[in-house]
Structures are given as C-alpha cells and as structure tokens.
Structure 1
Amino acid sequence: MKKLIYLFMVVLVFAGCKKEEELNFDDRPEVRMNQSIEEVNTILASSPNGWIATLPTAGGGGYGFYMTFDRANQVVQMAGDLTDESATKIAPSTYRVKANAGAELIFDTYNYISLLSDPNPASFGGVTGTGLRSDVEFLFERSTADSLILTGKKYRQVLKMVKATAAQKTAYESAQYKTLIDKFKAFFVTNANPFIEVVSGTTTLKVTLTLNSTNSLNSGKRIDLTGVLADGTTIASANMKFAYTINGVSILGDGLVWNGIKFVRMAWKDANTLAIYDSTGKEYIVNNSTVPLVPLHLLFGSKYSGLRSQYKTIYPGTS
C-alpha cells in the first residue's frame, strides 16, 4: 500500500513540473496580447522620419497619407492627398493601440482618415451613413524592417505603411506634396489624349491612360488603361484605385493588370517626362496624341453602355 502511495505522489510531482514547464514556453493569452500591443507601439514609433501610407476605400478611390507617431503622448501628425489643405497642413490627432481580435490601431479623434468614413456627404462626398466605406480601426497583420501592414476592421481594406526617409520627411513638411499632386493634375489637363506604347507580339499597341484625381465616389482616384488589341477591334480596359505619395502615383491592391502586364506605379522620369512602371521595373513613357486613339464606336458595349446628352441638343457628328 505504501508503495502505491509513493508511486502516486511521484506521478503528481512530475505532472506538476510538466504543467509549469508548458506555461513557461506558452504564455497566457493576455501575456501574448500585451506583447503584441507593445510590438505595434514600438514599430509605430520606430521611424524617426515618419511613415508613407496608402489606403483604398471600399466605396470610393484610394488615398495617400504621411504620418508620424508620438508614443509618449499618443499623438499622430498627419497629411493626406484628400484636399489641397490636407496635402499642405500636417494636423495632429490622437491614436491608441488596444487588444481586440489582435493588436488594433485606432484613430480615436477626427483626422483626415476619419473624413473617408464621415457619414455626412457634405463633409467629403460618399453615401449618407457610410461615406466612402472606410475604417478608423485597423488590425495588425505583419511587419518587415521598413513596412507595416494593417487591415480595416470592418471593410477589410489594407493600410500599408512604409518608413519615410529624411528627404521625404522634409518634402512633406515643406508642402512639396501638393506641388507634386498639382503637377500630375496639370499634365492630364494639358495632355488631352495621353497614352503609352505596349508591345504585344509583333505589334506595338497605343494604350490610352487616364488618371482621375477627383474624389468622385464611382470614378475618382482611379487610373485607367484602355486600348485596341492587335486584331483592331477588341477593346481591353482595366482600372484600379491609386494614391498620391511624395514619390508619385502608387497603384493600389494587386496593381493594374492590362493585357497580362501588371502596372504598379507612376512617377516623373525627369522634370518633364512622365512614366508608368510595371512590376518588373520596366518603364513606359507617357506620350500625348493629338486625337483620341480609341474609336468611340468600339467603346459601346465594351466600356460604355450608352451615351447621354442634353434634351434636343445636336452635337457635331450627330443628327
């Protein structure tokens, strides 16, 4: 009987030791969560020159931001490409990182990101009640040495943040952001029929490029490529949301795919030459045609479903 009691006590001792050992290697959920919160707070404050961020909306286009985080005071300084004012005025608001389904970054006072979800259309367009369908709460997904990826809690749009350089920080702080945006806008006003050349087999295709910098819900902050394929009749068209950064245009999501080519950004090659770049780094110079390149009749049924004009108004070429 004594031997059985001793054996039972030995089993209990080993069981107790095993339990304590498991706890040392697998911390409690609240411990892991606190570590995750600490990690995100540390990352946000780790870039002395701030962050360049991009965010597509679920209902509208895409938007760019510049942010710096003051961990001690939980204050974020922010600029954005939403308006002329937001591109030149770096404004403060507050933020916090808390535990939810994971570590969560919350912009808890009104700022430029809040404008995208403002339920009042008078504030920034959008739809009554939902705005452009965007978030102010973002779940931490992953990070690298120079980037941070978060996902909107409700609309699941990706907030991508990349560490800025000292030169980029200076450019944002000296209002060069608006200057760059204005230069892009002016190019597409001056050049009515911009296009790029894309080689397809033995044929060089001229593909119309359109950049809509407005905040229109259905078409604003989108980049579009449309062209006639080698057969001379088939129209290929694709568009994607974009955001302005201090470096140029960042095409969001998985890029803009046209005829199998993935375009990811647009930038100035030099003071007067604009180029768009694919995912391999190949450069396509943006030129201008004196006339539209895609015949209107080919666009009906492929890109446009109809044509509207003012009642009893006859335009040149119509009857």
Structure 2
Amino acid sequence: MKTKLNYIYTLFIVMGLLGCSLEEDLVLENPDERLLASLEELQGKLQNAAHGWIGNIYPAGGKGFSFYFEFGANGRVNMLSDFNDATATDAYESSYRLKALQRPTIIFDTYGYIHLIADPDESISGGVRGSGLKSDFEFAAISISDDMLELEGIKNGSKLTLFAATQAQAEAWKGGEISEMFRITRSFLDEVGFPYIDFGDGIRQAVDISSSSKMFQLSYVDDNEQSISISSNFAFTLEGLSLGEEMTYNGKVIGNIYWDQEASNFYILYDGNPLYFSNSPTPIIPLRTLFGFGKQYNMLTYNPLVVSALPSKFLDVYEAGRAGLFGLSSRRLNRVEFTISGANEAILNFAYNNTAGSNFNARTTYRIRTDDEGNLTFEFIARDNNTNVVGSGLASIINYFESNKFRIDWVAGDGNLYGALVVVDDDESYFYGAF
C-alpha cells in the first residue's frame, strides 16, 4: 500500500513538472501580441517619416538640447544636435535597435551625439563626473501617433518628444541653421546692453540668456527690495529658444522665445500677443540690491590702469589726492578700494608704494549711516598708522567720502559697466570702480 501511494505521489510530481514545462513553452511561443504590434508600429513610424524627426531633451542635470534624426531600415540613424557648432553642422551616423521590453524601446546602441549629454566624463557632457547631465540613450515609447512620438528615458526618465519634420525643417537642419541660431543669439547678447521685457505693469523684467548654461531667466525687484526670478533651461531651435518648462507671470504663460529676423530682436508670446525685448544701457536690477555685506558684490576698486576714465568730478579729486601723496616723499598712489566690510561698516583703502617700490595700504574705517531713501553717509571710526602718515596727502579723497551723501548705482561708459557711489543731487560726481 505504501509503495502504491509513493508511486501515485511521484506520478503527480512528474505530471506537475510536465505541466509547468508545457505552460512555459506556451508563453514563449505566444509573446504579448500588443507589445509586438506597438513595436512594429514604432518601427514603421521611425523609418517612414519622409523628412525625419526633430525633438528636444531636457536632462535632469540641466540645460536643454535639440536633435534631428533620420532613422533607416538598416538599423542606422543619422543625427544632428545643438550640442555645439560641430554637432549642429556635421551629421553623424550611428546605430540603433528596437526592443520589446515592458514597452517598445529605442536603444541608441553605438556612441552618437545623443550620448554626449549622458557621457560620465564632465569635460565632454559639461555635467557631473560619473553621471554627466543625467540623460538617456535608451527610450521607451509612451505614446505613438502619426506625427508625434512621446518617449521616456529608461535610466533617468529624460523626456524626448519627437515631431515629424517638414521638408523645410529638414532642409534647415541639414543646412546648419541651428548653428546660425547660436550665432544670432551670441551676436544679440554682445550688441545689446541689458535686455528686459516690459509687461505693462510698471515692472521691467531683466532678461538673462546664458548660451553656456542654456538658461533663460527673468528677474525684477519687488517693493520690499527682494529680487524675484523665474527661469527655465532651453534648447536652440530653428525659431529661437524652446523652454524646458513653461514660465508663468501674472497668471499668464510664457512659452518659447522667438527670433524676428526682420526686427533683429527676440520676443515672447504673452496673452497671445508678441512682446519684444527692450534694451537698457545699465542693468535693470538695481545695484543697491546686489552690493553690500554678504551680497553678490561688496567691493569697488578704482585703478586708472584698469578702469576707463568716465566723466566724473571724482577724477579731479583723485588727481589731487595722487599729487598730494606724491608730494610726501614721492609716494605713488596705485588704486582706491571701497569695501562694505560689515553690516554697517565700510573701509576706505589706499594702495600705494614708496620710491623703493615697496607696497603699502592705508585704511580708514567708517560706520555706515543709511537714511529713509537708502542713501549712505560715512561716519569716521578709526584710521591705521599708515593713514596717519600719508593722510594729509590724500585729504581730497578722504574728504570726498566723509563730506558727501551717496546712493549706490550703476554707471556705464566706453562700453564698460561699473558700480558707483553717486553723490546725491549731483549725477556728475561719483566714485566708481570694478568689482
């Protein structure tokens, strides 16, 4: 009886194993038909687009990049990119393949332009060592239609939306017009002073376009003297700049940045209407919000060998101080430095040398007094021993700082921009210098 039971038990095990084997064979012989159909559909869309595909990637590590692809039936793909001037003008051929993973997937399996932004070498990608810009070169299809493919990176989740290119777009890409958009943008930034957008609400928004970091930013200062900024990374396109994320101001969406060739200017569409950039000779963001203790700038240096000679009455004051110091044993004044050294403290420093060429500094410390309008006066606290020695020669400059009330502002001239302490009620008199 026991032998019979063992036989039956063994028979059930064998039948179970056979059943598993049959079931596994059945699965292997009948893959997911929907996935295969999607894979075939994706392959057909990629290869049958008459003029190729264009799209943008905005990696998690920053920046944005545009691409043009031509997918062949032989597993080869030609691509162009706005990564740099070379990739924008010289098409590169590499290979790709399609694979039925959990979703239909495009794998760029040999090194091409799309790998540059994912390269772990930061000298190539411009990203972080070991991970580049955290982009992808394997993309799963999320949505497939006749003229648009929505793809998502397998590793880092980079979004790549491809649009079927028109003949005109394909010809423009192949003709290097993306590289021309580089040139247009660089030239615009070189030629204009400080661009801004006026939204009609009394606030001028400073425009900052960084070709190197591919960042577009709008900034302004609110009623509380706080700097407010909104920004988005971008990719170059044939029309201008394509933002990675929509920006919103006063409840209205700012989409992309467009170039108007006839007007030689950029514009945005705001509430459905074109809004062109304006230009200012000095920055839109007031220097007073950027200059001070713990801020972006805290020091101004006037060195006549470095900064341009602007039409300021201070130059006469400086010349009198230079001559006065030279009259004290032929000492030579090299530069004047003004530093916000504390929350309410400033240092006026004179760098000079004697006839032997030895360098010295003469410092005077002041307490900063600020009135209701933000204007500054400087109250004497102390001077060092060197100032006690040479102060009489520098009296004109010392008196200039101690007897005037100043506002902090920008000044420009001869193509240069400087920070300045402008004498209140006399715009022609200001101490200025480089940061």
TM band (smaller chain): 0.7 to 0.9
Report how far residue 172 of structure 1 moved.
Answer: 1.2
The 8 Å contact of residues 273 and 286 in structure 1, kept in 2 or not, is answered as no
Aligned to 2:251: 260
1:248 corresponds in structure 2 to 240
Which of residues 49, 54, 61 is equivalent to 1:47? 49
1:159-308 to structure 2, matched below 5 A, reads 159-199=160-200, 203-214=201-212, 220-229=213-222, 231=223, 233-253=225-245, 255-278=246-269, 280-299=271-290, 306-307=296-297
Local SS of the residue matching 1:233: coil
Shift of 1:282: 2.5
Distance in 1 (CA, whole Å) between partners of 2:298 and 2:156 is 34
Please give the per-residue CA displacement for 1:234-260, whole angstroms capped at 9, x wherever unaligned.
43211111001122111113x122343
How far is 1:139 from its partner? 1.2
User: Partners in 1 of 2:144 and 2:295 — Cα distance?
Assistant: 44
- Would the alpha carbon gap of residues 64 and 305 (structure 1) be closer, same or farther in structure 2, given more than 3 Å must change? farther
One-letter amino acid matched to 2:258: A
Give, in whole Å, the separation in 1 of the partners of 2:270 and 2:38: 33
Structure 1 residue 102: Cα displacement: 0.6
1:2-151 pair list within 5 angstroms: 30-70=32-72, 72-151=73-152
Which structure 1 residue ranges, 5 or more long, are not aligned? Answer: 1-27, 215-219
Q: With structure 1 as the length reference, what TM-score do the two structures score?
A: 0.79
Q: CA deviation at 1:57?
A: 0.9
More RCO (CA 8 Å, sep 6+): 1
Contact 1:251-1:263 within 8 A present in 2 as well: no
- What SS class does the counterpart of residue 40 from structure 2 fall into? helix
- Partners of 1:195 and 1:206 within 8 A in 2: yes
Corresponding residue number in structure 1 for 2:409: none
In structure 2, relative to structure 1, the CA distance for the partners of 1:32 and 1:184 (3 Å cut) is same
The one-letter code of the counterpart of 1:165 is T
Alpha-carbon distance between aligned partners in 2 of 1:309 and 1:104, rounded to the nearest angstrom: 56
Give how far 1:263 is off.
1.4
Asked if the contact 1:139–1:151 (Cα under 8 Å) also holds between the matched residues in 2, the reply is: yes
* Compared CA separation, residues 133 and 252, structure 1 to 2 (3 A): same
Whether contact under 8 Å (2:42, 2:144) holds in the other structure is: no
Return the offset for 1:68. Answer: 1.1
Assess if the C-alpha contact under 8 Å between 2:252 and 2:271 holds in 1.
no
Deviation sequence 1:15-55 (CA, Å, 0-9, x none):
xxxxxxxxxxxxx6521111111111112123211111100
One-letter amino acid of the counterpart of residue 81, structure 2: G
Contact 2:291 2:298 in 1 (8 A): no
| Conserved? CA contact 1:236–1:259, under 8 Å | no
Classify 1:308/1:133 alpha carbon distance in 2 versus 1 (closer, same or farther; 3 Å). farther
Q: Indicate the structure (1 or 2) with the bigger Cα radius of gyration.
A: 2
Give the aligned length: 279
SS of corresponding position for 2:228: strand
Distance 1:224 1:131, change over 3 A: same
Normalised by the size of structure 2, how large is the TM-score? 0.59
Letter in 1 for 2:49: S
- Tell me if the contact between 1:65 and 1:80 (Cα under 8 Å) persists in the aligned partners: yes
